[in-house]
Amino acid sequence: MHPKRLNSLSIIVSVYNEQDSLLSFWNKLKDVLTSLPTISFEIIFVNDGSHDDSKKLIGEIINDSNNNAFEFIAIDFSKNFGHESAMIAGIDLAAKEAVVCLDSDLQHPPEKIMDMVSKYNEGYEIVTMIRTKRADNGMTKNTSSSIFYKLLNNLSDYKFDKNASDFFLISGRVAQVLKENFRERNRFLRGYIQTIGFSKASVYFEAPSRIGGESSYSFVKLLKLSFTAIFSFSNKPLRIALYASFIFAVFTASISIYSLLVYFFGKTPPSGYTTLIIFQSVCFTILFLLIGILSMYFANTLSEIRKRPIYLIENLTRKNAKQQHEEHS
The string of pLDDT tens digits covering residues 184-202 is: 877 778 888 888 889 999 9
User: Quick check: 179 and 87 in contact, CB under 8 A?
Assistant: no
Tell me what pLDDT residue 210 has. 66
How far apart, in whole angstroms, are the C-alpha atoms of residue 38 and residue 89? 27
The answer as to CATH 3.90.550.10 being correct for domain 8-139+166-214+311-328 is yes
What pTM value is reported for the model? 0.77
- Closest Cα to residue 215, out of 17, 10, 12? 17
Q: Per-residue pLDDT for 328 more than 70?
A: no
Mean pLDDT, the chain, integer? 82
Tell me what pLDDT residue 299 has. 75
- Closest Cα to residue 293, out of 248, 245, 234? 234
Tell me what pLDDT residue 269 has. 59
Q: Per-residue pLDDT for 126 more than 90?
A: yes
